[in-house]
Structure 1
Amino acid sequence: MPRYTFYQLDVFTDQAFGGNPLAVFPDAEGLDTAQMQRIAREMNLSETTFVFPPTDPQADFKVRIFTPASELPFAGHPVVGTHWMLAHLGRIPLTEPVTTARLELGVGVRAAALYVENGRVTRVVMDHQRPVFGATASDAQIERLARALGLSPAAILDTGWPVRVVSSGVWQLFVPVRSLTDVQSLGADRIDAAALGAVFAELDPETHCHDSVMVLTLETTQPGVDVHTRMFAPALGVGEDPATGSATGGLGAYLIEHGIVAAAPPTTHLVAEQGLEINRPSRLGIEIDGVPGNVEMVRVSGQACPLIEGVLEW
């Protein structure tokens, strides 16, 4: 009878029941792709990770990431949370003040800096890829996108900022909205997933922006926060994601590239809030190296809170 221990933790928060839940299977040897997909569907979280010995000698571990519907090559809260949990379990030897660890992912080996105090991780900062900027939506596409999201076209067009596909590891669509009230009016149950998918396919025919859209506004609910976001990915089985580290890297690049937030070289530091509308408050740090026209690198940081330990057997 197969028997696998798993752990669940909340990521991009320091409080239980906030942030984005993640399930981690730290000893996944023996599981095949179909089994991992079934397990992720059973866990029914936005992502579940499975840890294996590395096949690349530059990596410490190999990690595969699954949503309830499909495998992802890269995702933010699974990378932060898996690093945190492996350190919590003693699988990553910790050295103060910073320990570097490397995961082998679908996008290659990626490093993370684990900040350590009194033998415990206090923050994980993960590297993304150098940002790449893709297609920009036309006004006609923005009108269709707005209707698919349940917004008026003016709610997007009034910002004067582009709707654009960006990748810092995963292609995603970024949609600026004029006010916090407009963003708060959205809901996964109001989205026309088919219409949304059609816009994705036009803008990014190869990956469909990985079927995910991040809506953003510079109006925030908390002091010390720079941007308020919501992420929807209905085609991935994720109606609304409470905290999206992969997209938050692309978000930082988007904000600097288009001058929406002034660059403060060599590294601009921003804070994003997400998940408030679904009672999963999350806070994500963003570091952006470079200036408009030359955004060199982005990193995303956060905390985590271990919550559940269990065993899956069948």
Structure 2
Amino acid sequence: MTSVSEYPFSQVDVFAPGPQPGNPVAVVHNADDLSAEQMQSFANWTNLPETTFLLRPTRPEADYRLRIFTPASELPFAGHPTLGSAHAWLENGGQPHRPGELVQECEVGLVKISQTANEQFFEAPPLRHSGPLEPEVLEQAITSLRITPEEVLDSNWVDNGPGWLGIRLASARAVLDLKPDFTAMGQLNVGVIGAYGDGGPADFEVRGFLPGLAIPEDPVTGSLNAGLAQWLIGSGAAEGNYTVSQGTALGRGGRLTITSEGDSIWVGGTSRTVVRGSVFL
């Protein structure tokens, strides 16, 4: 019989100020002796959008190192797992080098995380891929969203690790009405954003689709919103500070805060632990 070990475990709800839930992330603490195969197998078993593993850092500037897995593959970076894992690390006794600021090491490099009394914010990492979509990619995205080219106000690569592309529609209602064809979407990771008018629950509604990563629709997505913010603020299509609603189509109550400080863009929200205990792997 294969031997197993016990690891502290947290399940954290991220971007959920309440009462509706946001996006869960499973967090395994002290996971240094787990192999990538064990991590992937457990992430497949949890069947959550992401499962993370906290490890000792390899860089002196970092407070901890994080590996992030979907049910199908490892990601170099993701936003809601970053904030949820930071919350779990602090709750489990983690002591940052600098009060009020954490530095996470992950495949994209070092990610800064700041905290207020009610929210944590991560600094949007540099985009790995930006600029206009190739015509064939845009055509595939439009077809998979079951919309017409005339409905697209703008599009751009907004990839900071997961491979996101962004599509801007005329309204939040248009975003909420989408009924994607995930077979046609294939391996594309498509984020869609549209503005609310006055009186909306936020400034924008966002939806994120990742069928190639076994996540047809992600409830609330930090990495996508970071990339969209860099694109929209950089192009002048959005103000430097705004709010986002995501997960509405799935019955979730995700809320994100986008804040600009100089050349940096920060993505924030609330996190709360809903499960705490041990796992045996």
TM norm. shorter chain > 0.5: yes
Deviation string 1:10-53 (CA, Å, 9 cap, x unpaired) is 10112365111011111212210000000001111110110111
- Partner residue of 1:312? 279
- Partner residue of 1:54? 57
> 145, 148, 153: which one pairs with 2:141?
145
Deviation at 1:169, TM superposition (A): 5.2
Distance change >3 Å, CA 182–CA 17, structure 1 → 2: closer
- Sequence identity of aligned pairs in percent? 32
- Partner residue of 1:196? 185
Answering whether residue 252 of structure 2 is matched by residue 247 of structure 1, we say no
Deviation at 1:288, TM superposition (A): 3.0
Q: How does 1:73-84 map to 2 (within 5 A)?
A: 73-84=76-87
Q: Is the 8 A contact 2:174 2:194 kept in 1?
A: no
Answering whether residue 35 of structure 2 is matched by residue 40 of structure 1, we say no
Greater displacement, 68-77 / 107-116? 107-116
Q: How does 1:1-314 map to 2 (within 5 A)?
A: 1-15=4-18, 18-92=21-95, 99-116=100-117, 122-131=118-127, 134-137=130-133, 142-156=138-152, 159=153, 162-168=154-160, 170-187=162-179, 190-193=180-183, 195-197=184-186, 211-219=188-196, 223=200, 225-262=202-239, 268-289=240-261, 296-313=263-280
Distance change >3 Å, CA 24–CA 302, structure 1 → 2: same
Classify the secondary structure of the residue corresponding to 1:87.
helix
Counterparts of 1:228 and 1:128 in 2: how far apart (Å)?
19
Distance change >3 Å, CA 179–CA 115, structure 1 → 2: closer
Q: Is the 8 A contact 1:232 1:238 kept in 2?
A: yes
Counterparts of 2:105 and 2:77 in 1: how far apart (Å)?
10
Deviation at 1:102, TM superposition (A): 1.0
Counterparts of 1:247 and 1:35 in 2: how far apart (Å)?
27
Deviation at 1:221, TM superposition (A): 9.1
How many residues align? The count is 278
Counterparts of 1:222 and 1:281 in 2: how far apart (Å)?
16
Partner letter of residue 185 of structure 2?
L
Counterparts of 1:83 and 1:16 in 2: how far apart (Å)?
22
Distance change >3 Å, CA 105–CA 93, structure 1 → 2: closer
Counterparts of 1:144 and 1:297 in 2: how far apart (Å)?
32
Deviation at 1:143, TM superposition (A): 4.1
Which runs of 5 or more residues in structure 2 are unaligned?
A: none
Partner letter of residue 7 of structure 2?
Y
What TM-score, normalized by structure 2, do the two folds share?
0.89
Q: Is the 8 A contact 1:274 1:281 kept in 2?
A: yes
Classify the secondary structure of the residue corresponding to 2:205.
strand
Deviation at 1:55, TM superposition (A): 1.1
Deviation string 1:190-223 (CA, Å, 9 cap, x unpaired) is 4233x324xx7xxxxxxxxxx4111110126964
Classify the secondary structure of the residue corresponding to 2:42.
helix
Counterparts of 1:257 and 1:146 in 2: how far apart (Å)?
23
What TM-score, normalized by structure 1, do the two folds share?
0.81
Q: Is the 8 A contact 1:131 1:298 kept in 2?
A: no
Deviation at 1:250, TM superposition (A): 1.0
Partner letter of residue 56 of structure 1?
R
Counterparts of 1:312 and 1:222 in 2: how far apart (Å)?
44
Which runs of 5 or more residues in structure 1 are unaligned?
A: 117-121, 201-210, 263-267, 291-295
Superposition RMSD on alpha carbons, in Å? 2.4
Counterparts of 2:157 and 2:203 in 1: how far apart (Å)?
21
Counterparts of 1:16 and 1:26 in 2: how far apart (Å)?
28
Deviation at 1:257, TM superposition (A): 2.3
Deviation string 1:87-108 (CA, Å, 9 cap, x unpaired) is 122223698xx61111111111
Partner letter of residue 163 of structure 1?
S
Classify the secondary structure of the residue corresponding to 2:228.
helix
